[in-house]
Amino acid sequence: MQNSTPYILEVRPRVPERLARLAELANNLWYSWDLPTRDLFSHIHRSLWDTVGQNPNAFLRRVDEQRLIEASEDPVFLASYHRVLAAYDSYHTKPVRNRYTEEFADNDLVAYFCAEFGFHESFPIYSGGLGILAGDHCKSASDTHLPFVGIGLLYRRGYFHQTIDGDGNQNAIYTDSEFENLPISPVLRGDGQEYRVSVDLPGRNVAIKIWQARVGNVTLYLLDTDVAENTPHDRIITHHLYGGDKAMRIEQEIVLGIGGVRALAEMGFAPTAWHINEGHAAFMSLERIRILVGQGMDFSSALEAAAANTIFTTHTPVPAGHDHFNHGMLLSYFEHYYPQLQIDRDDFLALGHAPDTPDFNMTSLAIRCSRHQNGVSRIHGKVSSKICGEMWPEIEEEENPIRYITNGVHMPTFLAKEWLEVFERFLGWGWSQHCCDVGFWKHVDDIPDHQFWSVRETLKSRMLQLIRQIVSQQHYRNHGSEAHLDRILKYADPANPNILTIGFARRFATYKRAALLFENLDWLRQITGDPERPVLFVFAGKAHPADIPGQDLIRRVAQVSRLPEFEGKILMLEGYDLRLSRRLVAGVDVWLNNPLYPLEASGTSGMKAAMNGVLNLSVLDGWWDEGYDGKNGWAIKPVSELLPEAQRNREESHTLYELLQDHVIPTYYNRNKMGYSQEWVKMSKNSIATLLPRFNSTRMVGEYVANAYLPATRQYRSYHDNNFVGARQIAAWKNTIRQAWGRVAIRLVNTPAQSIMFREGVRLEVAVKLNGLKPDDVVVEMLIGYLFNGKSIRPSRKMSYQFKSQRAIAETGEQVFALELTPEQCGKLGYRIRVYPHHDLQIHPLELGRMRWL
């Protein structure tokens, strides 16, 4: 055959005038969580809707025009269409003022920076948990009508599609997204020209195009370097999510952080709160400081002004997980930039100093350039305080500024549609407005047990249908036989959803211990060997292409699944994405999670499972340590962190096996005459009632508003007014403190009594050498409480009292502070006395990290 040139001709259908707003629905990511909107497109051509991955833009480009005409003449379809439009218009025109927004001023705006955003499988600019969380954050910001914009990168290739071969090897397949199929559009100026900004990279200037995606009521702005004016190398900066080498990573983070600030300014936005969601976007703070220095501020004042309304959320529980760049590489990108900050090389590098690495650490930069920091669960807040404690070297971990806001998930996205009618019938119309009301969700118990069980079985059946499709495709591609496939799928039968099904689906990182279940195969063989009580384990997840140990875990699961005794009882699914995730978290009976404590920052997949009545079986780490109450799932109590990892694996797998054989399996198969387990249903209802209202993203965003966004906005105003006089004052004061603090000292003046009667008082006097500071520059404080182990004061019973300045001692240059104490407790108390800097403009009382103890 002679060679010929292939040509492409795309023929697009015309959308009837009656259905003109289908395009509007397709270009707002509201469709990603509004089921009736997705059902509308599916009704036109169900098989095509599934073929295009439920992507409404791709659907409208490929659907046959005759089907659109028929839909426009179908009264049933038109009625559904108008109901969807009415809901869409109502959602977007609700009163803006509500309990989440009432304290924001008209010109307030939150800018949320993140390297990835996950909304729907049709918009592949996410890789995993961080992106899905960011997407849920945006969705709840939209639901609550926050003044909010997101900033990210538009990845042409995004993250990879996964296949798994016959030997269990993961293959990563990258495909280019057709931007015409995505719910995005270029941001245009008033004259119709596209917005452009640029950043400087070594030896060249890189142009950035700005796209926008509507997410309900909020807008996500996405930055793209794949434009004609850039070199071939620079055009691919925004191609791969978490791809390439260190140079590509720093270039992406410069585009995101510095380019993002410039994009917002170019479009006329002036955010009053800036949120760095993980350290990838930390260069944003440098650009904000540079702008203020260019307006005449000194570096220290500009840093305080920028940090005052910057929020930093860390998601990484280990130091090695934080982005870092060696000094040589960093300086090659910033040698012409940092002089614009009016600081020298050493001061610039010090912004990213961390004790665990000689490199420039992005988490350290984010902390030094923010005044509101948080982890993403109670345990993770403590872990982050410890990891980042060097930022406040004289402050104890539990008192440093890092706090926590536990993650949550977006209920409308992850609550299966099968629950909607049931909830409306038994919880009442408007039930979704009570998503954070713990008392309200006790009414889940009003749902009849048999009907509750029926919903759970329906969800499992739908999941098993998808599992069979995935496994069949995977099996035939790997040249498997039909008879073998029948054996593999013997328990994955949608017509018989009465088999206990346990799911494990997440990123295959080593600390998540996907293979913990296989620690003792003989014991596992016994657990799964009862033909009267079969168990199906379903695994899914991706490992980063550069993570060889993670890929080894996938291979291990696949290998065990092929052993004769486990054939059909363990499945390793390929192609993990949001679509599969939604089916799994709704369809399995038990959600298994066994990370190595305390390395699970939060975990959100278990929250999605819980709101669907799935029972969690998890290590008490991350969110589950807060959610578990003994009646809504099962807990694997972690053993000591000081033990070798191999021993920890043995002991915790032992607990896992015992829970499975003694509790999970017997409870599930303890069926009554109606064919369901009453005890299981009770636990499942309790899972919804206790966990859904506490671990949803509406609650999470509300906490960010109350504890971060509003305080940051208020603090910025106090620093910004009158030409940043507040920022200049706090910067000058901090410099004074730093210079004087090295010679500040504290001593006892009197010898206080060691024993008194209840309601008697005792006077304590201390002398503080202030080294030129004023008495008002410090707080002298006593901490008192019952002793723990005869040494330290119990934090839960600790009380504090402040000393008052009394007089100066001229001969020594000291200031005497006194306290008249009348203890409120009886018993043997311990107390400690300390002095630390204080200024009314401080955001956190210990943010300077300076303290002296007596």
Report pTM: 0.96
Which spans in 695-781 are helix H? 697-704, 710-741
Percent over 90 (pLDDT), the chain: 89
Cα→Cα distances 804→754, 767, 851, Å: 21, 11, 18
Same domain for 650 and 522: yes
The tokens of 406 are what? Answer: 């536990």
Separation CA 578–CA 259 (nearest Å): 29
Same domain for 686 and 764: no
Separation CA 302–CA 33 (nearest Å): 41
| Contact between 816 and 808 (Cβ < 8 Å) | yes
Which of helix, strand or coil describes residue 776? Answer: helix
The tokens of 266 are what? Answer: 């170019």
| Contact between 214 and 183 (Cβ < 8 Å) | yes
Query: pLDDT (tens digit, 9 = 90+) per residue, 512-543?
Result: 999 999 999 999 999 999 999 999 999 999 99
Cα→Cα distances 339→41, 145, 289, 298, 592, Å: 55, 40, 12, 12, 52
131-169: string of b/e by CB count within 10 Å (b at 16+)?
bbbbbbbbbbbbbbbbbbbbbbbbbbbbbbbbbbeeebe
Query: pLDDT (tens digit, 9 = 90+) per residue, 685-744?
Result: 999 999 999 999 999 999 999 999 999 999 999 999 999 999 999 999 999 999 999 999
Residue 1: its pLDDT value, please? 52
Which amino acid is it at 610? A
| Contact between 355 and 322 (Cβ < 8 Å) | no
Query: pLDDT (tens digit, 9 = 90+) per residue, 328-340?
Result: 999 999 999 999 9
Same domain for 643 and 497: yes
Pick from 365, 156, 160, 155: nearest CA to 280: 365
Same domain for 665 and 570: yes
Same domain for 611 and 472: yes
* Model confidence at 793: pLDDT above 80: no
Q: Which residue, of 63, 93, 123, is where some domain finishes?
A: 93
* Model confidence at 156: pLDDT above 70: yes
Q: 370 in a domain, yes or no?
A: no
Same domain for 691 and 750: no
Query: pLDDT (tens digit, 9 = 90+) per residue, 475-516?
Result: 999 999 999 999 999 999 999 999 999 999 999 999 999 999
Residues 610-616, mean pLDDT to the nearest whole number = 98
Which amino acid is it at 572? M
* Model confidence at 282: pLDDT above 80: yes
What is the pLDDT of the chain when averaged over all its residues?
A: 95
DSSP class per residue in 377-394: SHHHHHHHHHHTGGGSTT
Which of helix, strand or coil describes residue 210? Answer: strand
Q: 525 in a domain, yes or no?
A: yes
Partnered with residue 502 across adjacent β-strands are 537, 590
Residue 199 main-chain phi, psi, to 5 deg: -130, 155
What distance separates the 2 farthest-apart alpha carbons in the chain?
106
Which amino acid is it at 559? Q
Q: 309 in a domain, yes or no?
A: no
Q: Which residue, of 54, 72, 93, is where some domain finishes?
A: 93
Q: 201 in a domain, yes or no?
A: no
Q: 782 in a domain, yes or no?
A: yes
Same domain for 487 and 567: yes
Task: Quote the domain boundaries for residue 583.
Answer: 458-695
Residues 18-42, mean pLDDT to the nearest whole number = 97
Same domain for 746 and 687: no
585-602: string of b/e by CB count within 10 Å (b at 16+)?
bbbbbbbbbbbbbbbbbb
The tokens of 701 are what? Answer: 């965003």
Same domain for 620 and 524: yes
Percent over 70 (pLDDT), the chain: 98
Pick from 338, 339, 389: nearest CA to 363: 389
Same domain for 603 and 477: yes
Q: 564 in a domain, yes or no?
A: yes
Residues 384-394, mean pLDDT to the nearest whole number = 91
- Please, which pLDDT band fits residue 797 given cuts at 50, 70 and 90? low
Residue 759: its pLDDT value, please? 87
Pairing of strands 615-619, 590-593: parallel
Pick from 503, 569, 512, 515: nearest CA to 540: 503
Query: pLDDT (tens digit, 9 = 90+) per residue, 367-378?
Result: 999 999 999 999
* Model confidence at 760: pLDDT above 80: yes
- Please, which pLDDT band fits residue 826 given cuts at 50, 70 and 90? confident
Residue 98: its pLDDT value, please? 76
Q: 301 in a domain, yes or no?
A: no
Write the CATH number for 534.
Answer: 3.40.50.2000
Separation CA 617–CA 636 (nearest Å): 7
Direct distance between the N- and C-terminal alpha carbons of the chain, in angstroms, rounded to an integer? 91
Q: Which residue, of 39, 60, 93, is where some domain finishes?
A: 93
| Contact between 489 and 568 (Cβ < 8 Å) | yes
Residue 785: its pLDDT value, please? 86
Separation CA 712–CA 843 (nearest Å): 9
Residue 460 main-chain phi, psi, to 5 deg: -65, -40
| Contact between 579 and 121 (Cβ < 8 Å) | yes
* Model confidence at 823: pLDDT above 90: no
The three-point CA angle 691-694-697 to 5° equals 115
Cα→Cα distances 127→137, 180, 643, 759, 810, Å: 16, 21, 33, 61, 65
- Please, which pLDDT band fits residue 790 given cuts at 50, 70 and 90? low
SS3 content of the chain, % helix, strand, coil (to 5): 45, 20, 40
Which of helix, strand or coil describes residue 31? Answer: helix
Report the 10 Å Cβ neighbour count for 700.
Answer: 24
What HEC string does 522-567 produce?
Answer: HHHHHHHCCCCCCEEEEEECCCCCCCHHHHHHHHHHHHHHCCHHHC
* Model confidence at 87: pLDDT above 90: yes
Residues 574-589, mean pLDDT to the nearest whole number = 96
- Please, which pLDDT band fits residue 2 given cuts at 50, 70 and 90? low
The tokens of 515 are what? Answer: 């293979």
Separation CA 313–CA 403 (nearest Å): 10
Same domain for 654 and 754: no
Residue 241: its pLDDT value, please? 92
Q: Whats the size of the chain, residue-wise?
A: 854
Residue 569: its pLDDT value, please? 98
Q: What's the DSSP call for residue 819?
A: E
Query: pLDDT (tens digit, 9 = 90+) per residue, 53-73?
Result: 999 999 999 999 999 999 999
* Model confidence at 320: pLDDT above 70: no
The tokens of 634 are what? Answer: 């099962």
Q: 334 in a domain, yes or no?
A: no
Strand spans (E) along 344-449: 360-361, 372-375, 403-404
Q: What's the DSSP call for residue 620?
A: S
Residue 791: its pLDDT value, please? 62
User: Residue 713: CB partners within 8 Å, gap ≥ 6?
Assistant: 104, 105, 108, 272, 273, 309
Write the CATH number for 751.
Answer: 2.60.40
Cα→Cα distances 8→4, 5, 11, 175, 653, Å: 13, 10, 10, 18, 56
* Model confidence at 833: pLDDT above 70: yes
Separation CA 412–CA 698 (nearest Å): 11
Q: How many Cα atoms sit within 13 Å of 792 on the Cβ side?
A: 4
**Calculated CA dihedral for residues 385, 388, 394, 399, nearest 10 degrees:** -20
Domain count, the chain: 3
DSSP class per residue in 258-314: HHHHHHHHHTT---SEEEEESGGGTHHHHHHHHHHHHTT--HHHHHHHHHHTEEEE-
The tokens of 417 are what? Answer: 């549609």
Q: What's the DSSP call for residue 444?
A: G
Separation CA 129–CA 119 (nearest Å): 11
User: Residue 420: CB partners within 8 Å, gap ≥ 6?
Assistant: 35
Instruction: Mean pLDDT check: name the lowest of 1-10, 127-136, 452-461, 661-670.
Output: 1-10
Same domain for 746 and 690: no
Query: pLDDT (tens digit, 9 = 90+) per residue, 393-441?
Result: 999 998 999 999 999 999 999 999 999 999 999 999 999 999 999 999 9
